[in-house]
Chain A
């Protein structure tokens, strides 16, 4: 059982890591196109779209790299979870306003449009993975701490 949880944790952690490293990397390659996608959400004044586009992909990339390296996993999960929550709020606002836009979640210059509804579903999936990784990490960490305490007592 423990072995299964350990495998699940690393599998999910690596999957999340790859998703965010990829998402960050493709946006970093075309910040201007990504700014256009942020503008399409019609939430921010236009200069702020560029500020978000210039910073967000680097946070995604960095958090993904930390997850990949299994370093500072929980802070990286908090960062990824917060960003995903913000994306979800933005997508809900797009759906409520009936805007027909591509979410710009991955390749901002690519032709594969993803509707806000599909992007929202995907974000729900990512959020589930974030929570699952946190939970598995906590279980595995508390077990190893328990074992450490027992060894110290013995």
Chain B
């Protein structure tokens, strides 16, 4: 490697290190929260309220991967299927309960009444293209659930991994 090329690569490394360090400085709390496994990376979002625009801080459900879902279930976490009752009946993750995001207002009060809000809950739906698990997670946080996570791979990833499923089609 010529000296010129070495210098260029070294400068590129400095550039990457500087950018990464700056990013870490700006987002250290988020990264610390993520490594601590605690819910609550907070972000500022704009909420328009008629004439007044105010900043509010919103907690977001944390994404979890397949093996983490299994660990959370073993540790007593509650797995919630956000899909329609028909899809749930056809096939769902074994041990999950149905709480469809479509029509949530009709069933939410009953669900809240019989669920411990400090319990870890994991929502899922039909995989990465499906927003219902995230939207349900947001709604549960708004309703006071303290530790809400989203399994973005959802039912397809669980089923394709050969893990336990239940339902009419199984």
Contacts and interface: CB of A to CB of B under 8 A. Distances in A.
Interface of A: 28, 30-32, 35-36, 39-40, 42, 45-47, 49-51, 53-63, 66, 72, 74-76, 78-79, 82, 99-102, 113
Interface stretch (B31-39, B77-85, B96-104): B31-39
19 contacts: A28-B26, A31-B43, A46-B65, A47-B34, A49-B34, A50-B31, A51-B35, A56-B20, A56-B23, A57-B23, A59-B16, A60-B19, A62-B15, A62-B22, A72-B15, A74-B8, A75-B9, A75-B14, A79-B16
B93 interface: no
B12 A76 contact: yes
B91 interface: no
A51 B35 CA distance: 9
Interface of chain B: mostly helix, strand, loop or mixed: helix
Contact of B23 (A40, A45, A46, A54): A54
Contacts of B43: 30-32
Nearest to B8: A74
A82 B152 contact: no
Contact of B26 (A32, A49, A58, A79): A58
Contacts of A59: 15-16, 19-20, 23
